[in-house]
Amino acid sequence: MVFRSKYIYPDGAIREMVLWRLPEKTPKSSHSFKYRLYYGQADGTCLVRYDNETAKGDHRHIANSEEHYRFRNVETLAEDFLRDVADFRGGKDNEKKHTY
């Protein structure tokens, strides 16, 4: 595992980011990373998710929609995800941080 962090917001929402480096690229991907970036409400409702499951390749879920995601690099992936989370949070930045 390359990176893992988990943030729990005061309202109970959860943001979790997990990234692995694989020995070789995965099918349908141009890179050797496996990732799962998640943001959801305290009740488990997923609002934002970026992942690259083998059958679909890189994609993201925003609320109830799913679309292809163009992976550029790890830094841009994190920036794009955090921007989508910030859009859902509407500027509420107070958080309780848990890093593993």
Angle of CA points 5, 19, 73, to nearest 5°: 115
Q: How confident is the model at residue 100 (pLDDT cuts 50, 70, 90)?
A: very low
- Does residue 96 form part of some domain? no
Q: Is 14 in contact with 7 (CB distance < 8 Å)? A: yes
Closest CA to 39 of 31, 30, 48: 48
Whether residue 15 is contained in a domain is answered as yes
* pTM listed for this prediction: 0.86
Q: Is-contact 38 14, C-beta < 8 A?
A: yes
Total domains in the fold of the chain: 1
Whether residue 98 lies inside any domain: the answer is: no
Segment 17-36 shows an average pLDDT of: 89
The answer as to whether 99 is a domain residue is: no
Predicted pLDDT of residue 91: 67
Question: pLDDT tens, 36-63?
Answer: 999 999 999 999 999 998 788 999 999 9
Which range marks the domain in which residue 20 is found? 3-90
